[in-house]
Amino acid sequence: MRPLRVINAVAPVRICDNGGWTDTWFAEHGKVFNIGVYPYVEVQIEVFPRDTLEARVEVYAENYGERFVVTPGGRWHTHPLLSAAIERMGVPDSVAVRVSVFSEMPAGASTGTSAAVAVALIGALDRLTPGRLTPHQVAYTAHAVETEMLGRQSGIQDQLCAAYGGINFIEMHRYPFASVSQIFVPNAVWWELERRLVLIFLGRTHDSSEVHLRVIRELEGAGPGDARLEALRRAAERARDAVYAGDFAALGRAMIENTEAQATLHPALVSADAWRVIEIARAHGALGWKVNGAGGEGGSVTLLCGDLSHVKRAMIRAIETELPHCRAIPIHLSRFGLRVWESVDGRAL
């Protein structure tokens, strides 16, 4: 049976998050520089008349090959983030929906993929009801799903980057309230930055449990003025200034400063695999490196390469040869953040 409507939504993921850890409740205030990139998260909602499907809400988590039903007011056993977002937004009583979610970004890559999933899903569900949430409101709704409904630890930067896309400087004045300043640069700077950036997936799903809880407990006791948090905030400012100046050497230094500041929070936040990737990158003339997200085992590293593309490719080959479980993931800078549109009878609306 053909659907009445098909709603599409996409949202980018996040890399190179200088200042991460300062966008949290225990930091109280923070500054984060980050970059939205593709491959993005895709959500598609097929809308049918109410009584034509066996279940009102069917979900297909395509990356996992899993299909499940979401019952309003029910328990969130399977993919709780998806179920909670649907519960938060609701589905009009007059329709039934099939929701599919997909991304080419590996799960657990520390690129804010779960936040991008929530942003794209909430943006798509918002299309079902009168009125429209702004991108900022979508980001904060996604954050509320994680923190209020699921009780998870979550900063604010991932959701905001997914909603806005592009290159961002986020100032959190008082958790969780923040402003987003998008960094606009000439095309030549944008293209050169895109050419120089490499994302290396470390081959294992990011595990943030015990080490992160230990860091949170320590920072909670130290307070928002802790010198380690201040170092992270400064790294975000320096990354912003470097991109505005088109100074890639300065951007690389800011990335290195941030990774070193991460390591002072806990040595395990920069894993042995991440250090080896960094060593290989340094040997190939890379200008900078940033362990993505909060750090820890698994996840990914952003590398900022030098002037020559053939050297960049040789670096990638060296990493993938010495560390066969690691791989480079092709990325492109996102010109846009959350995008939502729909089609009816083969026509885009």
CA dist., res. 326 & res. 320, Å (int): 6
pLDDT digits (tens, 9 = 90+) for 24-80: 999 999 999 999 999 999 999 999 999 899 899 999 999 999 999 998 877 787 899
Q: Tell me the CATH class for 5-348.
A: alpha beta
pTM: 0.96
**Structure token pair of residue 234:** 């400064």
- The ranges assigned to domains in the chain are 5-348
Does residue 146 register a pLDDT over 70? yes
Band (pLDDT 50/70/90 cuts) for residue 114 is very high
Give pLDDT, residue 208: 59
- Per-residue exposure over 173-212, b if at least 16 CB sit within 10 Å of its own CB, e if not: eebbebebeebebeeebbeebeebbbbbbbbbebebeebb
Does residue 348 register a pLDDT over 90? no
**Structure token pair of residue 175:** 């958790």
- H-type alpha helices, 34-186: 80-89, 113-126, 135-144, 157-164
- Percent helix, strand, coil in the chain, to 5, is 40, 30, 30
Over residues 150-155, the mean pLDDT reads 92
Q: Are 193 and 243 in contact (CB under 8 A)?
A: yes
Band (pLDDT 50/70/90 cuts) for residue 285 is very high
Mean confidence (pLDDT) of the chain: 95
Distances (CA, A) of 217 to 27, 31, 225, 305: 12, 21, 15, 36
Helix (H, G, I), strand (E, B) or coil at 10: strand
Specify the amino acid at residue 334.
Answer: S
